[in-house]
Amino acid sequence: RMDQALLLVRNELPAQGLRLAAVSGACYQCLYEFLVFVPPSNRSLRKPGTAAVMVDTQHPLTLLLNGSVGDRELCKIQYHFGEFGNYSLVVKTLSTSTKTVSCDLVINEGPINSYLPILFAFLVYMGILAILIVGRLFMKIDPVRNWVYKKLNPRETDRLINSELGSPNTTDSVSSDPTPRLWSTASRQRLRSLDTFRGLSLIIMVFVNYGGGKYWFFKHESWNGKLHFPSALFSRFVFIMGTSISLSLSSMLRWGSSKRKVLGKILWRSFLLILLGIIVVNPNYCLGPLSWDNLRIPGVLQRLGFTYLVVAALELLFTRAGTESGTLEMPCPALQDILPYWPQWIFILMLEVIWLCLTFLLPVPGCPRGYLGPGGIGDFGNYPNCTGGAAGYIDRLLLGEKRIYQHPSSSVIYQTTMPYDPEGILGTINTIFMAFLGLQAGKIILFYKDQHKQIMSRFFIWSIVMGVISAILTKCSKEEGFIPINKNLWSISYVTTMSCFAFILLLLIYYLVDVKRLWSGAPFFYPGMNSILVYIGHEVFENYFPFKWKMQDSQSHAEHLTQNLTATTLWVIISYLLYKRRIFWKI
């Protein structure tokens, strides 16, 4: 099967059988998992004892062979098996006098290179990009552009050139049409980098949610540790939501909307996000009536909705006239984008104190205080039912075990049996913190409007500050820090680390798209303009053609990757068509 190899164990020891156990290199402080018992060899028939077992190829394994007599450890082997490979482990005695046992791993049939489909897909998309770039260059040549005008609708062609290829100096009959001019002006006033940032995070999230070609590195980390693609996506979405809150609220208040009216919009939008989230995460199209007992309450949109409510209301409550324009006198001008909002910072710090107290001081039955582990076979199996510590306990206590996510990412490697929801209650506190840091990025853009060097330098400084805090909290270690990086828990170190990368990424996109205009943001700009529609649409139509179809070989990475990339590309095309028709679904 996919991500597996065949291991044949040959036991040439005449006196005893073998017990084979293994532990994954991705499993921290885990118990060995028993795999297979290998009978002793038959001396009379000169036939070794054999047993076959499937082993995981996603991570390196440590194999442990114990003898059935006295349960003595005979050998230990660390090896990273290859997908669909065929291996033999030969166990024999080197010397009858010393009873020295040797364990030799032999490759019977080499594994396949499962990463070739990724390389092929990369080359295909790079080829498409090269064709588009060459086409753009040709469109700058007058004879070619005139020929295209004759073949296509001149007005539509010129509008396409102006809006997508960045040639605002072109003048013809279209310039007299006020509608395109107004649309073009509105497009230039809107920061394309923000929509590009949002769209980039969203499209990768869609690809990962569709399966990511079934590659292990496109899946969420089992617990602590390295930040794969999926671990960063939702956090970036939260970050840029905070940035958008700052800009949108400032715009609404500047145009004369009352705070009461804006608050009503905030409450309504939050309600819709939470309601849509509950509907999306509880699909029941062909299974009959949905049971309230099994209704999952937490989810991505639910957390976004509640986070939006808190951060937007906080911004609306404490915003003051004149702060963004710089008319208020500041004791420290270098901190003019921070000091006016000290009540907000105090509120956020109080939330973090609450998170720390609940996480490390709340008593959890059967678990050590302050436990941050995955439970299961982790921590040598001492706390099998303590998945998530206080975070998991609060969700199970307040929501019920059946109303939260039943298949957490820790269940594969750590073999946890307790339900745990990565979008649970306690982690929402740090999601609010993440959105607030994004809000800070928005304040920087507002305070230093058109001062590109100031904006980029402050993004860089914030990135450094967040990176230093992460280094301190984690001790630059995957498992041994004060607070490890953990997406399931949304730990503080996870938020600071993701914010560090988010500030840097926003800096780069802002520089390329809005400062130098070397990149229009396409194609990510289009789904970024219709993010809610794309996210809900990809969830609702996940199992419908043409986003999914029956595969000839369900154990092929190539087929899964083709299907997932096709589905993701379709949503990019859909968002582009909606953009061209000026259809935007806003909540």
Residue 172 confidence (pLDDT): 39
Residues contacting 124, CB < 8 A, separation 6+: none
Q: What is the mean pLDDT of residues 269-283?
A: 91
Q: Which helix (H) or strand (E) holds 358?
A: helix 342-361
- For the ranges 215-224, 271-280, 470-479, which has the lowest average pLDDT? 215-224
| Whole-number pLDDT of residue 253 | 87
pLDDT tens per residue, range 490-510: 999 999 999 999 999 999 999
* Chain segment 406-455, per-residue pLDDT in tens: 889 899 899 999 999 999 999 999 999 999 999 999 999 998 988 999 99
Q: Determine the average pLDDT of the residues in 319-332.
A: 62
Q: Is the pLDDT of residue 323 over 90?
A: no
pLDDT averaged over every residue in the chain: 86
pLDDT (mean) for 347-370: 96
Alpha carbon distance 541, 389 (integer Å): 35
What is the residue type of 270? Answer: S
What is the distance between the terminal CA atoms of the chain, rounded to a whole angstrom?
44
pLDDT at 150: 73
Beta strand 61-67 pairing with 18-24: antiparallel
CA neighbor of 195 nearest in space, from 581, 580, 579, 587: 579
Among 334, 336, 333, which Cα is nearest to 320's? Answer: 336
| Cα 187 → chain centroid | 29
Q: Residue 186 — pLDDT band, cuts 50, 70, 90?
A: very low
Q: What is the pLDDT of residue 360?
A: 96
* Catalytic residue of the set 220, 228, 557, 560: 220
Q: Distance between CA 438 and CA 421 in Å, rounded? A: 24
pLDDT one-digit tens code per residue, 12-54: 887 788 999 999 999 999 999 999 999 988 776 678 889 999 9
For residue 563, CA distances in Å to 288, 404, 536, 540, 552 come to 29, 29, 19, 17, 12
Q: What is the DSSP string of 481-544?
A: SSS--BTTTT-HHHHHHHHHHHHHHHHHHHIIIIIS-----TTTHHHHHTHHHHHHHHHHTTTS
Q: Please say whether the beta carbons of 202 and 397 come within 8 A.
A: no
Element (H or E) spanning 88, and its range? strand 86-95
The amino acid occupying position 273 is L
pLDDT of residue 287: 62
pTM of the model: 0.87
Residue 189 confidence class, pLDDT cut points 50, 70, 90: low
Using a pLDDT cut of 70, give the percent of the chain over it.
88
Q: Is 94 helix (H, G, I), strand (E, B) or coil?
A: strand
With tokens 């041994």, the residue in question is: 480
Q: CB of 421 within 8 A of CB of 298?
A: yes
Percent of the chain at pLDDT exceeding 90: 63
335: pLDDT strictly greater than 90: no
Average pLDDT for 228-254: 86
220 is catalytic: yes
Model confidence pLDDT, tens digit, residues 133-152 = 888 888 888 787 777 777 76
User: What per-residue confidence (pLDDT) applies to 73?
Assistant: 87
pLDDT in tens, 158-181: 454 444 444 334 333 333 333 333
CA separation for the pair 403, 424 (Å, rounded): 11
Neighbours of 369 (CB within 10 A): 12
pLDDT tens, 103-124?
A: 999 999 999 999 999 999 999 9
User: Which of 4-8, 76-80, 277-281 comes out lowest in average pLDDT?
Assistant: 277-281
568 pLDDT more than 90: yes
Answer for the pair 91, 100: CB distance below 8 angstroms, yes or no. Answer: no
β 73-79/61-67 pair status: antiparallel
Q: What is the largest CA-CA distance in the chain?
A: 100
Tokens 């919009």, residue located: 265
d(C-alpha 373, C-alpha 304), whole Å: 25
Type and span of the H or E element at 273:
helix 259-280
What pLDDT is attached to residue 341? 85
pLDDT > 60? residue 214: yes
318 Cα distance to chain centroid: 32
Highest mean pLDDT among 229-233, 275-279, 349-353: 349-353
Instruction: List the single range of 219-223, 369-373, 523-527, 577-581 with lowest mean pLDDT.
Output: 219-223
Q: Are 460 and 506 in contact (CB under 8 A)?
A: no
pLDDT number for residue 183: 34
Of 5-19, 198-212, 310-324, 573-587, give the lowest mean pLDDT range: 310-324
State which H helix or E strand residue 559 sits in: helix 557-580
**Which strands sit side by side in the sheet containing 18-24, from one edge to the other?**
33-38, 18-24, 61-67, 73-79
| Span 344-358, pLDDT tens digits | 999 999 999 999 999
Per-residue confidence (pLDDT) for residue 261, from 0 to 100: 93
Specify whether the CB–CB gap between 455 and 449 falls below 8 A: no
